[in-house]
Amino acid sequence: MSIKTFDEISEYIISQYEFPPLAFVNTFGCQQNVNDSEKIKGELSMLGFGMAPCAEEADFILFNTCAVREHAEQRVFGNIGALKKLKEQNPKLIIGLCGCMVQQQHIVDKIKQSYPYVDIVFGVNAIHLLPELIYQKLSGTKKILLDPVENMDIFEEVQTKRDSSFKAWLPIMYGCDNFCSFCIVPYVRGRERSRKPEAILKEFKQLVADGYKDITLLGQNVNSYGKGLNEEIDFSDLLQMLASEDGDFRIRFMTSHPKDATHKMIDTIAKNNKISNHIHLPVQSGSNRILSLMNRVYSIEQYKGLIEYAKEKISNVTFSSDIIIGFPGETEKDFQKTLSLVKQIGYMQLFTFIFSKRSGTKAAEMRDDTPRKIKTDRLNFLVKEQEIIAEQALQQFIGTVERVLVEEYIDDKKLYTGRLDNNLTIEFPGENIIVGNFLTVTVTGARKAMLKGVIK
Ligand code: SAM
Ligand code: SF4
Ligand code: F3S
């Protein structure tokens, strides 16, 4: 008999276990992967799996992997290595790997060769095939290993089981066409594909109806949203459409690419108080020479122009950025330019990375003779400078009254933490406050990267 429907697959899987099976999904990488894992958990729940608190208690362990830096890949290999023992103790345990890492043939080959106890491998566009893969593994006698799928269709039907009850990730597009010379993402995530505005609006409305207050639109380059769609729509139009919805929510988005970010987007943020007044605008380097080698397609002058325009138009706007240190050929002079830019902009947050060579990318071919020690010294120096800059920049908010989304209660501090519209975090005392709601808080102080406040 051939089993085909979802219900039949689910019935079969459950029948294979004495107790309802448990799954453990371990996620590496960016918000895109976090959202994919929420879809995977949605599928597993529909199949009848519960969620295990740790790998040791699971019947199915899945690693959703990231390939952006070598360190991320090494961590995954370390983790899979540690599972060998669990598999020996419990031969019925199913081990799966998915995500960006397994979109690379050399990684799949290595898994086949060195980690034969991995049962299921599937690519980033094959999430909807997971039920079938688990079924095949349980029912078949031979090991299932699906090589990365090249399919670029968008599957709208997959259910999402969100990690939070008030913060949600909402993908608006997948893939990337930019080919920054250091970056593996376009190779593992494929070409840019925008979701249809109707599909995004439908999911957005449902999120608002379900009480989600903080909705982040996701894409590797949100500013090129709409390319390839039949309708005439760009990212600013999409932002405006969503911000015009009724309800108590805040929209955030990431990531904006400086080459595509427009004045229209900045104007749209400025006129809608439901759109966060924080822009994550990764600059990567403060040196035009390095930006050109990175294939970023903007100059520092253009970048600063955008920041100036946003500061002029959006009240209380804050910025954050990504910086790569030690890109091949980066000199002390280039680094000083980065440092100087960081001081001029006054970022509230900086995500700093040492260049990691990714095989298959252009930068992997470039001569890289800066010693590791110099790179780590530059990174550490930048991080220290940034701490000082952020702490100073926070002072301007003291005395202001802010809308805050309450995110957590920290028991040992007896304080609540929350997030302002401009993404700054704040802690404040209170009693019986509902996490996941908006409150009005007066900012009374700042320490390191955190504001202090009292409920108004
Ligand atoms: N699409 C986003 C953009 O263009 O800004 C970012 C995507 S990437 C997942 C996040 C950050 O990782 C990048 O902004 C970059 O700073 C960093 N990154 C990407 N490839 C890297 C590499 N090979 N070595 C070090 N950092 C890298
Ligand atoms: Fe990578 Fe550049 Fe695409 Fe961002 S825009 S995902 S850094 S290639
Ligand atoms: Fe990593 Fe893939 Fe995101 S490579 S950073 S998980 S898109």
Ligand 2 pocket, residue 257 CB under 6 Å: yes
Considering every ligand atom shown, identify the ligand nearest to the alpha carbon of residue 282 and give its number. 1
Cα 184 to averaged position of ligand 3 atoms, centre (Å): 8
Instruction: Work out the pLDDT band at 3, boundaries 50, 70, 90.
Output: low
CA angle 395, 400, 402 (to 5 degrees): 115
| Burial track 357-387 (b if 16+ CB lie within 10 A, e otherwise) | ebeebbbeeeeeebeeeebeebbeebeeebe
For all residues of the chain together, what is the average pLDDT?
93
Of all protein residues, the one whose alpha carbon is nearest to atom 3 of ligand 3 is 30
**Of 277, 259, 258, the residue nearest 268 (C-alpha):** 277
Q: What φ, ψ does residue 249 adopt, rounded to 5°?
A: -150, 170
Ligand 1 pocket, residue 254 CB under 6 Å: no
Q: What is the pLDDT of residues 361-416, one digit of tens each?
A: 999 999 999 999 999 999 999 999 999 999 999 999 999 999 999 999 999 889 99
* Contacts of 8 by beta carbon, 8 Å cutoff, 6+ apart: none
pLDDT reading at 153 higher than 80: no
Tokens of residue 273, six digits: 């108080």
Q: State how far the Cα of 33 lies from the Cα of 433, in Å rounded to an integer.
A: 31
pLDDT reading at 324 higher than 80: yes
Report the percentage of the chain scoring pLDDT > 90. Answer: 87
Give the Å distances, CA to CA, from 156 to 116, 242, 370: 33, 19, 46
Cα 127 to averaged position of ligand 3 atoms, centre (Å): 15
Ligand 2 pocket, residue 186 CB under 6 Å: yes
Model pLDDT, residue 150: 64
CB 156 within 8 A of CB 143: no
Q: What is the pLDDT of residues 182-231, one digit of tens each?
A: 999 999 999 999 999 999 999 999 999 999 999 999 999 999 999 989 99
CB atoms near residue 438 (< 10 Å): 17
HEC profile of 306-335:
HHHHHHHHCCCCEEEEEEEECCCCCCHHHH
- Please report, for the chain, how many H helices and E strands are present, in that order: 13, 18
Instruction: Work out the pLDDT band at 288, boundaries 50, 70, 90.
Output: very high
Cα 162 to averaged position of ligand 2 atoms, centre (Å): 26
Ligand 3 pocket, residue 76 CB under 6 Å: no
Lowest-confidence pick of 131-145, 351-365, 379-393, 420-434: 131-145
Helices 6-15 & 31-47 angle (0-180, nearest 10): 80
Q: State how far the Cα of 300 lies from the Cα of 291, in Å rounded to an integer.
A: 8
Of all protein residues, the one whose alpha carbon is nearest to atom 20 of ligand 1 is 183
Considering every ligand atom shown, identify the ligand nearest to the alpha carbon of residue 27 and give its number. 3
Q: Position of tokens 């007066």? A: 442
CB atoms near residue 454 (< 10 Å): 12
Considering every ligand atom shown, identify the ligand nearest to the alpha carbon of residue 68 and give its number. 3
Of all protein residues, the one whose alpha carbon is nearest to atom 5 of ligand 2 is 178
Instruction: Work out the pLDDT band at 155, boundaries 50, 70, 90.
Output: confident
Considering every ligand atom shown, identify the ligand nearest to the alpha carbon of residue 357 and give its number. 1
Nearest atom (ligand 3) to Cα of 28: 6
Ligand 1 pocket, residue 379 CB under 6 Å: no
Model pLDDT, residue 152: 65
Ligand 3 pocket, residue 30 CB under 6 Å: yes
Ligand 1 pocket, residue 24 CB under 6 Å: no
Cα 358 to averaged position of ligand 1 atoms, centre (Å): 11
| Strands (DSSP E) found in 239-317 | 250-254, 278-280
- Per-residue pLDDT, averaged over 108-114, amounts to 92
Q: What is the pLDDT of residues 244-273, one digit of tens each?
A: 999 999 999 999 999 999 999 999 999 999
pLDDT reading at 145 higher than 80: no
Instruction: Work out the pLDDT band at 156, boundaries 50, 70, 90.
Output: confident
Model pLDDT, residue 1: 45
Model pLDDT, residue 328: 97
Model pLDDT, residue 398: 95
Q: State how far the Cα of 194 lies from the Cα of 220, in Å rounded to an integer.
A: 11
